[in-house]
Structure 1
Amino acid sequence: MNSIAKRLTVGIASLLLHASLPADTETPLTIATASPAGVYHVVGRALCRTLSTPCRAQPSDGSSANLRALRRGELAFALVQSDLHQYATQGIEGFRQAGADTALRSVFSLHSEPFTLVVRRDADIASLEDLQRRSVNIGNPGSGQRSTMLRLMDARGWSRTTFRQVHDLPADQQSMELCHGNIDAMVYTVGHPNDSVAQAIRLCNAEIIDVSGTTIDLLVNAYPYFSYATIPAGLYGPDQPEIHTFGVKATLVTRADVDAEQVYRLVSEVFGAFTRFKATHPALGVLTPQVMIEEGLSAPLHDGALRYYRERGWIHDEALLPVRHEIRRGAALAGMAN
């Protein structure tokens, strides 16, 4: 075969190859989650499996990191804790320098996330107060668990010097560090049951203890994104009692400039397969549409989500106004300062 014939053959083969490919491969929808060891990632994958379009659950450094990436336009969807959701919306706390994120939009809230204190049984920690002078993991920068722990420390009047050591480990490393004796306690704001917590209890002779008292009462009364929470007895073994604590909610958020039709399809497909979606993890089993569109949301609802909720008759014209949580400071915050 001469050189011209060879070039023609290669050219025809190349054309045939490209003709066999899809004309327009759809870019996967990405939902930023958190540590692969946490419930956020499980829920993100469950959301993706519910959708008919290509979708990927993307691990991340957590809620704060997700909110900053959303603001920079690097993400379209993310899972974030309800407390950081409000901070970003109002431009307070860790988002004060950046200012209020007026482009942040709510899609819906998801499961409750109890603040979970896991301790080594040999560390002699029976209550929150016993964490003083112990080695504690407060979570990696950017994570929701760290934000909640810092809020708790501030309310209690604690600083990093309150503890013997403070560690900044991500969620997928903390249980093994507990097992190795490098930390006495770890905190985790997470839905239950959780594999990391189960691993610590199963392998490290660890236990979950109550997080209660005056400081917790003040926090719950002062901030609407906090509420009392329980972890059911027996979830991590027959000798595990019911645990009393407080917590936040996981929320799905997006940006105002994300296509309304895309958001509408996501919401309609999740609620169209709602029973199947709730069955993917025990933490989702108690969800109801009304709670998901009312609780834990500080940013206004995205137009695509609002359209679907109005079509279903779940929401009315007054919901066109931004959903703003006014912090009930007053006596509660005054009590923290005393």
Structure 2
Amino acid sequence: MKPTTGSLAMGLGVLLLLTAHASVAQQTLTIATASTAGVYHVAGKAICRVIDLPCEAEPSDGSSANLHALREGNIDMALAQSDLHYYAATGSEGFRDHGSDDSLRSVFSLHSEPFTLVVSRDSGIQGLDDLVQRSVNIGNPGSGQRGTMLRLMDARGWSRSSFRMVNDLPADQQSIELCHGNIDAMVYTVGHPNASVAQAIRLCNAALVDVQGEAIDALIQVYPFFSHAVIPGGLYGEEQPAVQTFGVRATLVASAQTDPDVVYRLVAGVFDNFTRFKASHPAFDTLTSASMIRDGLTAPLHEGALRYYREQGWMDEQPGVSEELSGQAMPDEVMPEEPAAIDRE
């Protein structure tokens, strides 16, 4: 008996469906991370471990390189700092020559990279206002901590003359100078725990200080890539309390062309195995689904991620904050003295 035209069409449809499913299942997802020594690479590997797709966390030169590679279609997904994520989406700062990346899509954010104020206990510095007329290391030109410190100084109405001495030391030298008493305080924008901060606290009688107040609230209001952050207590010894501060976040991004089913399955893998994922690194301890789908995201959400979030009841059918912010220009009135589009990972 010869097959009918209808049965042939049905069989062909089933074959195409199975072929498409197999294509998704066999595809190797590449997530660009950063240095193998950083938290970004740990995050990429942790994501790959909890999803049901062949997946590879690929080392890279960091956030800026990742965002350019994603725009050019050379990678599937990438990790990027929330400030650089913003600059790429809006075509500002270091991405000004390339224009806004209208194809950039947010998936979720990850750990905070808090602005960390480390002070000598002998200095008597208890808070942000106590930095006036002290010797402070604001970071070398082009560094992440310097870029954030310049924005903070602008928000507080400070200039270099507000301090007794301003040092421009790179991150790998500042804890030594704190130990030697050559500076009273150092700032660092970094994920925790961090070896340099641990060294200063363990060997130099240093302490972490809260960075909060109206100026910080104003910064977070103006810059969507900043958010409140907490450095958990006990990371640097039993007596170290939790520290209230602010900072950027690590974010996972994709292109609008990235397969929505792949993005959906990745997001489902992470949130359906959330406890296992968070156990991958201490920096993930404070992650919540609510913060991950909101904080630090300035490109529109990818349709695959949005589908999962709506299924979970985490997001309604209306555009979210992340969709509304894309395309906004950086406010001119609070620009720092030099660009802050810098990789920290």
The two structures share one fold, judged by TM-score above 0.5: yes
Structure 1 window deviating more from structure 2 (221-230 vs 277-286): it is 221-230
Note the C-alpha offset of 1:124. Answer: 6.4
Note the C-alpha offset of 1:214. Answer: 4.4
Asked if residue 87 in structure 1 is aligned to residue 87 in structure 2, the reply is yes
Kindly tell me: are residues 216 and 55 of structure 1, through their superposed partners in 2, closer, same or farther at Cα, counting changes over 3 Å?
A: same
User: Which residue of structure 1 lines up, in the alignment, with residue 61 of structure 2?
Assistant: 60
Q: 1:164 aligns with which of 155, 163, 166?
A: 166
Kindly tell me: are residues 165 and 173 of structure 1, through their superposed partners in 2, closer, same or farther at Cα, counting changes over 3 Å?
A: closer
User: Which residue of structure 2 lines up, in the alignment, with residue 251 of structure 1?
Assistant: 251
Kindly tell me: are residues 46 and 145 of structure 1, through their superposed partners in 2, closer, same or farther at Cα, counting changes over 3 Å?
A: farther
- Return the structure number with greater relative CO, CA threshold 8 A, min gap 6: 2
TM-score by length of 2: 0.70
After superposition, give the CA deviation of every residue in 1:63-114 in whole Å (9 maximum; x if it has no partner). 4454344334444322223333223222234433432221211011223332
Say what the alpha-carbon RMSD is for the aligned residues: 3.9
SS in 2 for 1:228: strand
After superposition, give the CA deviation of every residue in 1:198-248 in whole Å (9 maximum; x if it has no partner). 233223433212223443243234334434333344332233244232233
Note the C-alpha offset of 1:300. Answer: 1.0
User: Which residue of structure 2 lines up, in the alignment, with residue 138 of structure 1?
Assistant: 139
Is contact 2:115–2:245 with CA below 8 Å preserved after alignment? yes
CA distance in structure 2 between the aligned counterparts of 1:305 and 1:262, rounded to whole angstroms: 9
Is contact 2:137–2:174 with CA below 8 Å preserved after alignment? no
Kindly tell me: are residues 74 and 160 of structure 1, through their superposed partners in 2, closer, same or farther at Cα, counting changes over 3 Å?
A: farther
User: Which residue of structure 2 lines up, in the alignment, with residue 275 of structure 1?
Assistant: 275
Is contact 1:84–1:144 with CA below 8 Å preserved after alignment? no
SS in 2 for 1:164: strand
After superposition, give the CA deviation of every residue in 1:16-64 in whole Å (9 maximum; x if it has no partner). xxxxxxxxx9756233246824x33432332232234231252534x44
Q: Give unmatched runs, 5+ long, in structure 2.
A: 1-25, 337-345
Residue type of the alignment partner of 2:33: A
User: Which residue of structure 1 lines up, in the alignment, with residue 113 of structure 2?
Assistant: 113
CA distance in structure 2 between the aligned counterparts of 1:57 and 1:176, rounded to whole angstroms: 33
SS in 2 for 1:150: helix
Which structure 2 residues correspond to residues 235-250 of structure 1 after superposition, within 5 A?
A: 235-250=235-250
Note the C-alpha offset of 1:118. Answer: 1.9
Kindly tell me: are residues 307 and 227 of structure 1, through their superposed partners in 2, closer, same or farther at Cα, counting changes over 3 Å?
A: closer
Residue type of the alignment partner of 2:309: Y
Is contact 1:160–1:166 with CA below 8 Å preserved after alignment? no
TM-score by length of 1: 0.71
User: Which residue of structure 2 lines up, in the alignment, with residue 32 of structure 1?
Assistant: 33
Kindly tell me: are residues 311 and 128 of structure 1, through their superposed partners in 2, closer, same or farther at Cα, counting changes over 3 Å?
A: closer
Instruction: Report the number of matched residues.
Output: 304
Structure 1 window deviating more from structure 2 (178-187 vs 246-255): it is 178-187
After superposition, give the CA deviation of every residue in 1:265-306 in whole Å (9 maximum; x if it has no partner). 322221232221122234323433343223321111123323
Residue type of the alignment partner of 1:167: L
CA distance in structure 2 between the aligned counterparts of 1:175 and 1:60, rounded to whole angstroms: 25
Which structure 2 residues correspond to residues 256-267 of structure 1 after superposition, within 5 A?
A: 256-267=256-267
Residue type of the alignment partner of 1:29: T
Is contact 2:91–2:97 with CA below 8 Å preserved after alignment? yes
SS in 2 for 1:306: helix
Is contact 1:309–1:315 with CA below 8 Å preserved after alignment? yes
Kindly tell me: are residues 254 and 178 of structure 1, through their superposed partners in 2, closer, same or farther at Cα, counting changes over 3 Å?
A: farther
Residue type of the alignment partner of 2:61: S
